[in-house]
Chains A and B, each alone.
Chain A
């Protein structure tokens, strides 16, 4: 439960800020000039803050829509991402956010209209091209939906732009918002998945993988298109058996025709992120297989990456059309 809310003076009177504040009646509200005063200082400890994060409400000033990294996408020519929120309700050990940010506090930018204006401009500028807008990389949008109403605002918005795909990346099993709206052909509810035994160790505070599969089935039956995201693939002692079992469990419940895309990605960190994360989880066997590669990035050995990618693709091909497969970066 959030018990401290920092709010920028500039937006404290806005409807969205007041709507969010009203959900935490017992929280102490502290006014701030800019979110950076609370979010950016170094010498904050991410792990301690994660025990009970505060909420920061702010106005995003620029950089509403950003180009996705090269090689990232699910089939369209142009790929963008946008983040209305930094940090996540869940506490996954391998999450890059804990290496990237000084603070574990939830930062929500409440000026959704500015994001929508920029997305609209981007769509109009490249109207001949197919494009995808990704969300849920700096947070889990669906998990925070009861607080932000982000998806409730953006599903109707994207219903006006059929050519633009809208991907919501999540581990949440909250389906309330999807019951409120008709399924949208250009919206992908993309689930991050890993074998159950690994998720129990690594995906702390997140719903179990079986609950995620159950929710995917529910959404698919309602007509929503599903994305499967095996990103990152996690190496461990009996990874082949674990991943085979995971794929079988998914396709036992979900028809292939409901799957929009499947993507696979390797576990990678910039060095500085990894050093922090290793300090937070010194006993993690899963992190012990990672190395600095020749590009100065922390990853598995190339042979492990290749073997995992190849094996998982072949396994997935037993259930799904390989043309739906994409690689994350």
Chain B
């Protein structure tokens, strides 16, 4: 379970239907914050959001885009597409993490990062996204109607390592689809909550590594507030402050800045100090 007040955590769920999302909503105490154009839920204490996209790839792309904007998701955000799928290779109720994504409509395939599914002991397999509910399951893998669309957008807004597609097998050849109701789906999902939490824990540990990489060096914000730096000067300042931290851990760079110094003079001062 995610600890409260965990400031760096940032998670977005994209799920097609309410029945598939219900247990996730309960487990992470998400509250509805919007109804249209898509129902959106969020946790009050930490940065976790969930959107109900509806069925199909277009809805998945639209909902992911909408949530990205509405929730002001940063680059370092975990994105998970979760839902039920059909397959001829697995038993009903099994949780599957996707390692290859193909589409009946598009040539390009996508490959989620193995880092996202390592150490989980969860079965991995390929996903085939189709436009109509699949009954024949002619190929190996699992069949859904959203995963490809979700990933095709998510890969542009977050690192591969933080994007995951998780599916639960709901139907196999011969299943009467009319019998898969909300209660049945909720029952299947609730059994897998501990494993879903484990996947999320692994993703959060990767998110922490990324957070450290993307963090601005100490004093960057303070110095930017004091003087006006252009975009390229900020890039240089970020580099110099990173080097400064490594070289002079006990020297405060703010002490190097005189009141009347311009941005260029500040950069020159840092550069000269770092030369040897």
Contact = CB atoms under 8 A, between A and B. Distances in A.
A301 B275 contact: yes
Given A54-B114, A279-B213, A285 B246 contact: yes
B243 interface: yes
Contact of A52 (B118, B124, B247): B118
Contacts of B246: 282-285, 287-288
A48 B161 contact: yes
Interface residues of B, number: 36
Interface stretch (B7-15, B28-36, B88-96, B152-160): B152-160
Contacts of B126: 30
B274 A30 contact: no
Interface in B104-121: 108-111, 113-115, 118
A282 B111 contact: no
B122 interface: no
Contact of A289 (B108, B214, B245, B276): B276
A279 B99 CA distance: 28
A277 to B, nearest CB: 11
B99 to A, nearest CB: 6
A37 B109 contact: yes
B210 to A, nearest CB: 6
Contacts of A49: 113, 115, 161
A275 B236 CA distance: 10
Nearest to A104: B115
B111 A45 contact: no
A16 interface: no
Contacts of A52: 114-115, 118
A284 B110 CA distance: 35
A301 B161 contact: no
Contacts of A279: 213-214, 242
A278 B242 contact: yes
B43 to A, nearest CB: 25
Contacts of B113: 44, 48-49
B59 interface: no
Contacts of B114: 3-4, 52, 54
Contact of A288 (B110, B206, B243): B243
Nearest to A31: B100
Contact of B156 (A43, A47, A284): A43
A28 B99 contact: yes
Interface residues of A, number: 34
B190 interface: no
A30 B158 contact: no
Interface string A20-55: 000000001010110001100101110111011010
A285 B155 CA distance: 34
Contacts of A60: none
A14 to B, nearest CB: 21
Contacts of A283: 245-246
Interface in A294-320: 301, 304
B217 interface: yes
A64 to B, nearest CB: 26
Contacts of A268: none
B131 interface: no
Contacts of B118: 3, 52
B111 A37 contact: yes
Contact of B210 (A37, A45, A284, A288): A45
25 contacts: A4-B99, A28-B124, A30-B100, A38-B111, A41-B155, A41-B160, A43-B155, A45-B213, A48-B113, A48-B161, A48-B209, A48-B210, A49-B113, A49-B115, A51-B115, A279-B214, A280-B213, A282-B242, A282-B246, A283-B245, A285-B247, A288-B274, A289-B247, A291-B274, A291-B275
Interface of B: 99-100, 108-111, 113-115, 118, 124, 126, 155-156, 158-161, 206, 209-210, 213-214, 217, 235, 239, 242-247, 271, 274-276
